[in-house]
Amino acid sequence: MSFLQPWMLLALPLVALPVIIHLINQRRFQTMPWAAMMFLLAANRMSRGYARLRQWLILLFRMLAIAGLLFVISRPLASGWLGATAGGGADATIVILDRSPSMQQIGTGSNSSKLDTARRQLSDALATLGTSRLVLIDSGDSSARELESIEAISDATDTGPAGNTADLAGMLKTAYDYVKANRVGRADVWIVSDLRESDWESGSGRWDALRDNFASLPQTTKFHLLAYSEPTAQNRSIRVTNVRRQQQGDTTNLLVSLSLSGDENNTAEGEFPLQFEIEGARSETTIALTGGSAEIKDHPIPIDSQLVRGWGRVSIPADTNPADNDAYFVFAEPAPRKTILVSDDPETSRPLLLAAQISPDPNVAATAETVNRDQLATIPWEEVALLVWQGDLPSAAEQKPIDAFVQAGGQVLFFPPKIIGSQQAYGLSWQPWISDDKGAEVSNWRGDEDLLANTISGASLPVGKLKIHKYAGLKGEYTPLASLDEQHPLLVRANRFTNDPAGNRDTTSLSGPPGIYFCTTTPNPGDSTLARDGVVLYVAIQRAILRGSEALGDTRSLDAGASEAVDWRAVSVNEDAISSQYGIQPGIYETSQKLLAINRSKAEDSATLVSDQKLESLFQGLDFSRVDDQAGSLRSLVNEIWRLFLIIMIVAMIVEAALCLPQKRTANEGAATP
């Protein structure tokens, strides 16, 4: 049990006041032996036991009444939820709110989502506990802002559902920066999340630094986790994987490829309805489910031959999570797929050119050409989708046009030179070559996203069959996509857009992380089997080209939160979306140059949770408490129980008054003696 006014407990010694008064009254009269009264005293001892018991009971209930009054004033909280750990007195209360799509799951037998339940419960709890300063850090933009009232948590429109994946580590870093910058005394940090691994990234090295930073603060910081980790039930999600326009004679079709997936408990088979909406015109069809999921490739939808650019949406029937029931897409004439290759080794450049020139789509031409380093200024960057660079890393002057190219959405793939230099680019630098006569194998790779992701059917690329005989070391900060061992990566994505450790550069036009990749070996037969086993090399290059070409066209598909919504006009969005948050709300938007489709990220389709053991390790050494609940719950996080003590006080006073009543005299006792 804890108290909202614990200082009132200092008055608990007043409980002994009735005993003290009783002892003082006892001292008012002195007992004197008197022979004439000895007989009466001896006769009175027969009824003395009951009288003494009554006196003790009167003292007890008087003490109980005073104790009840003190407990009422102290405002006790019931233990069992957060009553044992939370309480008033914090200088600042920081709320970290996960608004990701998975938080929109609706509870069983309820119309409330996890997010709605969390906002209501948290508002009620903070209204009970009280706070002098309330700070909100939500997953929409991960910035800290002070709220004027507690009700804003549940009532404000900008704390509602969002389509972007949360970054819990980044939000906690913002909380740490706020506590440190504002010199907050005691801070209570309330974390609201459903513990999805995609939001927490529990394996990230940022957690170790965060834990050390909070532990080193001189201020007291308490962490309270409100976990809504209830698994999904009977839920399916829809995602569009590809869209292209096809014209054959007088017929024009829109070919839509999509995937429909269900949770592990939803394996029903049979016909399943789909609804397509193209520029406001709707049509319906059915697909066959196998094991609760389905894949459709190039489903034809007739469109007007004059419709060159447009938008669409695929919808499935309502289920337990409305956030993954719609998938938006845009279409237009395919953008050019042009690759520029800068190389100092003709034998290495040959397989790279070949992989870039063969288009996977016969209706879209792909071109590739080789240029020298001194010709960078003459490259028509607005027509290029991919830059392949094999040789010494670009100098500062050479990097300027590449920076602009990447910022516009272009992709860059670096391969090491024959002779390693000291040049650095994008926070990375090549290290000396390492030879392995037996041929090193890839120990692990990212099959869930990026260049080496699994195919649409779920089959993995044959990355594990590659043999790497020579590879260069790599120094700097990066995200590994394929690794030979813990110290030596094969393919990485650069974390920074610049060499500046702070990364202070405008990247608002970037779709997610910069498309800058480093491969530590080359397709030269003496270095690896990338050219001989060409599937991995071809797929990786074509995926990079496709990403770059999407940035060149009149349309673009982005993950929610990947770009800042500057001068966006809503075309088809949820009616609750506000203009300041268009960038994190799924839908169709239009700018002066492009038509944009915003969807939840692919990581949101994974229902993997952070394990209890891993969660404990993330907050090891910190003052951490956890409460589990579910969507639609009507329970309160914090319960005041002062009414119970008020009842106890009233009962004690009534019993004490009853005990103080004089005994009734019988008729014989009241008669006069003869």
- Residue spans of the domains in the chain: they are 2-23+50-78+642-660, 92-231+608-638, 236-333+595-605, 337-498+512-552
pTM: 0.73
Superfamily of chain region 92-231+608-638: von Willebrand factor, type A domain (3.40.50.410)
pLDDT at 1: 57
664 vs 162, which has greater pLDDT? 162
Q: Report which of 213, 192, 199 is spatially closest to residue 118, judged by C-alpha positions.
A: 192
Average confidence (pLDDT) over 126-140: 84
Question: Cβ(96)–Cβ(167) under 8 Å?
Answer: no
- Look at 654 and 240; give whichever has higher pLDDT: 240
Cα–Cα–Cα angle for 573, 579, 580, nearest 5°? Answer: 130
440-455 per-position pLDDT tens digit: 999 999 887 889 988 8
Least confident among 27-36, 274-283, 495-504, 640-649? 495-504
Question: Tell me, which fold does domain 236-333+595-605 have in CATH?
Answer: Immunoglobulin-like (2.60.40)
Q: What is the DSSP letter of 317?
A: -
pLDDT at 672: 47
Beta-ladder partners of 69: none
Q: Which long-range contacts (CB under 8 A, 24 or more apart) does 345-352 make?
A: 345/390, 345/391, 345/417, 345/418, 345/522, 345/524, 347/524, 348/390, 348/415, 348/522, 348/523, 348/524, 349/390, 351/523, 351/530, 351/531, 351/534, 351/537, 352/388, 352/390, 352/415, 352/523, 352/537, 352/541
Of the two residues 44 and 670, the one the predictor is more confident about is 44
How many C-beta atoms lie closer than 10 Å to residue 431's C-beta?
15
Strand partners, 89: none
Please say if the pLDDT value at position 666 is more than 60.
Answer: no
Which of 310 and 671 is assigned the larger pLDDT?
310
Q: What is the pLDDT of residues 270-326, one digit of tens each?
A: 888 999 999 989 999 998 888 778 888 889 999 998 898 999 999 999 988 999 999
Edge-to-edge, what's the strand order for the sheet holding 144-147? Answer: 144-147, 134-138, 92-97, 186-193, 220-227, 623-628
Q: Which pLDDT value is given to residue 651?
A: 83
User: Looking at residue 192, what is its pLDDT?
Assistant: 93
pLDDT at 157: 80
Per the listing, tokens 């268009």 go with 582
For the stretch 209-250, pLDDT in tens is 999 999 999 888 999 999 998 887 778 999 998 898 888 888
Backbone angles phi, psi at 453, to 5 degrees: -65, 155
Which among 255, 292, 285, 253 has a CA at the least distance from the CA of 270?
A: 292
Note the pLDDT of residue 510.
40
DSSP code string of 113-160: BHHHHHHHHHHHHHHHH--S-EEEEETTT--EEEES-TTHHHH-GGGS
d(CA 464, CA 442): 5
The pLDDT score that the predictor gives to residue 508 is 37
Q: What single letter denotes the amino acid at residue 606?
A: S
Cβ-contact 243, 298 below 8 angstroms: no
Is 236-333+595-605 in the same CATH topology as 92-231+608-638?
no
> pLDDT tens-digit profile of 427-442?
899 999 999 988 899 9
Place of tokens 């709320």: 95
- What tokens does 234 get? 């009977």
pLDDT digits (tens, 9 = 90+) for 555-595: 888 899 877 777 899 999 988 888 888 999 999 999 888 89
- Give the C-alpha separation, 542 to 565, whole Å: 29
Which residues on neighbouring strands pair with residue 221, listed in sequence order?
Answer: 187
pLDDT, residue 553, reads 81
pLDDT digits (tens, 9 = 90+) for 457-488: 778 899 999 999 999 999 988 889 999 988 89
Q: Give the pLDDT score at 402.
A: 92
Supply the pLDDT for residue 668: 56
Give the pLDDT score at 512: 47
Instruction: Check if the beta carbon of residue 194 is closer than 8 Å to that of residue 228.
Output: yes
More confident residue, 4 or 373: 373
Q: What is the pLDDT of residues 186-208, one digit of tens each?
A: 899 999 999 999 999 998 889 99
Distance of alpha carbon 534 from alpha carbon 4, whole angstroms: 68
The residue count of the chain comes to 674
Q: Return the exposure string of 591-602: e unless at least 16 CB atoms fall within 10 Å of the residue's CB, then b.
A: eeebbbbbbbbe
Task: List pLDDT tens digits, range 493-513.
Answer: 998 665 443 333 333 334 446
Q: State residue 673's pLDDT score.
A: 46
For residues 98-106, average pLDDT: 93
CA–CA dist 102, 321 (Å, integer): 7
The predicted pLDDT at position 189 comes to 93
Residue 523: count other Cβ atoms within 10 Å of its Cβ: 23
Question: What integer pLDDT is reported at residue 511 of this predicted model?
Answer: 43
Q: What is the CA radius of gyration of the chain?
A: 36
Rounded Cα gap, residues 138 and 122, in angstroms:
14
pLDDT for residue 622 is more than 80: yes
- In this prediction, residue 634 carries a pLDDT of 53
Protein fold of 337-498+512-552:
Rossmann fold (3.40.50)
Give the confidence band of 370 by pLDDT, cuts at 50, 70, 90. Answer: very high
Contact 319, 235 (CB under 8 A): yes
Helices marked H in 139-240 — which ranges?
Answer: 152-155, 168-181, 197-200, 206-216
Q: How far apart are CA 107 and CA 634, in angstroms?
A: 11
pLDDT for 42 beyond 70: no
Element (H, E) at 396: helix 396-407
- What tens digit of pLDDT does each residue of 64-89 get? 888 877 777 766 666 544 444 445 56
Q: What is the mean pLDDT of the chain?
A: 84
Residue 31: pLDDT band with limits 50, 70, 90: low
Q: How confident is the model over 386-419, as pLDDT tens digits? A: 999 999 999 989 999 999 899 888 999 999 999 9
3-state DSSP percent of the chain in helix, strand and coil, to 5: 30, 30, 40
Quick one: what percent of the chain has pLDDT higher than 90? 41
The whole-angstrom separation of Cα 633 and Cα 81 is 13
State the Cα–Cα distance between residues 298 and 363, nearest whole angstrom. Answer: 14
Query: Phi/psi of residue 11, each to 5°?
Result: -90, 5
* 291 within 8 A of 269, measured Cβ to Cβ: yes
Count Cα atoms within 13 angstroms, Cβ side, for 528. 30
pLDDT, tens digit, 9 for 90 and up, residues 521-554: 999 999 999 999 889 999 999 999 988 988 888 8
* Sole residue written with tokens 């990212």: 446
In this structure, the dihedral spanned by the alpha carbons of residues 531, 534, 539 and 544, taken in order and rounded to 10 degrees, is: 10
